[in-house]
Structure 1
Amino acid sequence: MDFRDKLILAPMAGVCDQPFRLLCKEQGCDILYSEMVSAKAIYYKNMNTKPLLAMDEREKPFGLQLFGSDPEIMAEMAKRIESNGYSFIDVNMGCPVPKVVNNGEGSALMKDPVLVGRIVEAMAKAISIPLTIKIRSGFDSEHINAPEIAHIAQESGAAAVAVHGRTRQQYYQGHADWSVIARVKEACIIPIIGNGDINTPQDIIDMRAQTNCDGFMIGRGARGNPWIFRDMKYYYEHGELPDKPDIYEVKDMMLRHARLMVEFKGEYTGIHEMRKHVAWYSVGMYDSAKLRSNVNQVETYEELEELLCRWADSAPEKVIVS
């Protein structure tokens, strides 16, 4: 599994479902992750995990991200699901959500380096595909231990480590501290993936210069903007950004996204979940506040299509995404 010089979509819960992943892949994303899946939920055969485990062959290389804190259960569930055809399995050690952290999972694991080693060792021995982990810079500003955690994971069998340059305490506030990513890179010989505040091609250039990391993970910068992967690759090839999508291209992308959502989740769930995506797609665009208000009244694909076509047609000529 090669993570070097790759553009990677971060495994954002509630965002990176299969429809959105497919759109990002089409726009040039190199590696995809699932939304995080509870190992205990798989163990207890919770039916809610089934769509989270789904993978389309077009998504490969694709990693399934698990979260949990019991080494035996994590290893057993990793072994159970690896036959589904995933390219690698990842362990979430960075989720800051209280219900996850309070259960000793996600970023709470960074408070227990010994447990991290036990989890990684048990899982790496149980599966034949690569095992990776995703961490934060530390649990809080008083405990910046990403280099230690990454080195333990490496010695325990991890094939790569993704590092979000914020602490759990920060959630998604403030700025990502890329210097921590640089220290992780210095501490390890396995590939290190940088994550945090990558929104433009220049950010990748700057992150590489400052950290020497191997791959680049894009999270919130991709919400409502699957073109970000296309733009970054075009910039590297041509030294300039391509033309931004106009309002009709954005409308068409939203409708394609909606059709995939309906196909994958059914109309009721798919259209309701599209509301937040429409808000992200339309940020900074013509009459976006009114559009965000109106989309919350939409219940069917036909209603969404009518709303978006009316919005695009009423915009001033040649409106470009800001």
Structure 2
Amino acid sequence: MSVKIGNIDLGEFPLLLAPMEDVSDPPFRYVCKQGGADMMYTEFISSEGLIRSAAKSRAKLDIFEYERPIGIQIFGSDIESMREATEIATLAGPDLMDINYGCPVKNVACRGAGSALLQDIDKMVKMTEAVVKATHLPVTVKTRLGWDDNTKNIEEVAERLQDIGIQALTVHGRTRAQLYKGEADWTLIREIKRNPRIKIPIFGNGDIDSPEKAANWRLEYGVDGMMIGRAAIGYPWIFREVKHFFATGEHLPGPSLLERVEACRTHFSKSVEWKGPKVGVFEMRRHYANYFKGLPDFKPYRTQLVKEENIDTIYTLLDEILDKYINVEPITELA
């Protein structure tokens, strides 16, 4: 059976790209879409920033036709600001709106936004209701198990948010207190899926980093789909590899060196094109190590790529990497 969010048909078991701050920008989303992501989200966008027309927040509204279906994710601590931001974001033409109640970082949570709302479910419900009423688009939510081990309130959250009109829920299997440490625990996500009152799609997020784990957890926790975040950084092929494993029970061979270089080159050129040369070059630096993970003695190239500011020189370095490593066997398994 297909999973649907509103009128958006995502197929039988969709794999979603997680919204990651300073990562899930259009250049990264482009390579993930090519790698098989079924649905993607923008980086989270501050509602206050949108209302003030802050340049950084507005730039994050950029979405492209090839990315569809795509959701714009917003966060904030003020209900009226979230309502206004929803109206602004709706005009950018996404397929859905997503609310971030999961971000654990201090400058978000400590301002009463993101996962901080897990400490005030009544306010979370009112805020969500304001967003639902402010747009004709389906509204989805991403959150965590709770604020800490003593307040795992996700089951109540799921029911109450469904009751006021959200059309899908993604749960990251950690509390806010855990940040990204320890192991994700999906047992409460399974409880939500088993709750006969819950009718909306439930997506699991946290620690999906291999086809086997995706397949095992799909069976064990019964979710409607999965959201993959960190495992896709520098490795956009994770989506197609998971899908292949679901379909056949076998591993798809990892990407060839040529594929890795091509994906890195595409990501880099899109980054420069979208952000301008200076920022585009700078922000690409966090991705090189992952694109070429497992190549022996790669450190000198990585150092050069991270220091280099000249665009043509970076393209030359990528060509050199292809020439040098094209016959190197075996390349360490990445997935």
What TM-score bracket applies, with the shorter chain setting the length?
over 0.9
- Within 5 Å, give how 1:102-117 maps onto structure 2: 102-117=110-125
- Give the corresponding residue for 1:317: 328
Per-residue CA distance 1:233-276 (angstroms, 9 max, x = gap): 22233331222122232122111111111111111111111111
TM-superposed CA distance for 1:321, in Å, is 4.5
| 1:219 partnered with 2:229 | yes
* Aligned partner of residue 296 in structure 1, secondary structure: helix
Q: Distance in 1 between matches of 2:81 and 2:119?
A: 20
- Give the corresponding residue for 1:195: 205
Q: Distance in 2 between matches of 1:206 and 1:319?
A: 27
Which structure dedicates a bigger proportion of its chain to helix?
Answer: 1
Of the structure 1 ranges 253-262 and 300-309, higher mean CA displacement relative to structure 2 is found in: 300-309
Tell me which of 132, 136, 144 is aligned to 1:128: 136
- Within 5 Å, give how 1:64-75 maps onto structure 2: 64-75=72-83
- Give the corresponding residue for 1:277: 287
- Give the corresponding residue for 1:38: 46
* Aligned partner of residue 294 in structure 2, secondary structure: coil
Contact 1:245 1:321 (C-alpha < 8 Å) held by counterparts? no
Tell me which of 88, 96, 99 is aligned to 1:91: 99
- Give the corresponding residue for 1:171: 179
Tell me which of 233, 237, 247 is aligned to 2:247: 237
- Give the corresponding residue for 1:55: 63
* Aligned partner of residue 173 in structure 1, secondary structure: coil
Tell me which of 184, 194, 197 is aligned to 1:186: 194
Amino acid aligned to 1:12: M
Identity percentage over the alignment?
A: 38
- Give the corresponding residue for 2:170: 162
Specify every segment of 5 or more residues in structure 1 that has no aligned partner in the other structure, as ranges.
none
RMSD: 1.5
Amino acid aligned to 2:243: K
Amino acid aligned to 1:290: P
Per-residue CA distance 1:137-189 (angstroms, 9 max, x = gap): 11111211111112111112111110000111111111100102112223422
* Aligned partner of residue 132 in structure 1, secondary structure: strand
Q: Distance in 1 between matches of 2:254 and 2:150?
A: 42
Of the structure 1 ranges 276-285 and 90-99, higher mean CA displacement relative to structure 2 is found in: 276-285
Moved over 3 A (4+): none
Per-residue CA distance 1:107-128 (angstroms, 9 max, x = gap): 1011110011101111111211
Q: Distance in 1 between matches of 2:177 and 2:298?
A: 32
Q: Distance in 2 between matches of 1:294 and 1:173?
A: 31
Amino acid aligned to 2:106: P
Output the TM-score relative to the length of structure 2: 0.92
* Aligned partner of residue 172 in structure 1, secondary structure: coil
Q: Distance in 2 between matches of 1:15 and 1:77?
A: 22
Q: Distance in 2 between matches of 1:37 and 1:287?
A: 39
Per-residue CA distance 1:170-218 (angstroms, 9 max, x = gap): 1111110010211222342211010011112222222222221111100
Q: How many residue pairs end up in the alignment? A: 322
Amino acid aligned to 2:103: C
Specify every segment of 5 or more residues in structure 2 that has no aligned partner in the other structure, as ranges.
none
In structure 2, the CA distance between the partners of 1:254 and 1:319, relative to structure 1 (3 Å rule), is farther
Amino acid aligned to 1:177: D
Q: Distance in 1 between matches of 2:217 and 2:245?
A: 16
| 1:142 partnered with 2:150 | yes
Amino acid aligned to 2:331: I
Q: Distance in 2 between matches of 1:48 and 1:239?
A: 43
TM-superposed CA distance for 1:88, in Å, is 0.5
Per-residue CA distance 1:19-59 (angstroms, 9 max, x = gap): 11011111211001000000111111112212200000110
* Aligned partner of residue 220 in structure 2, secondary structure: helix
- Give the corresponding residue for 1:251: 261
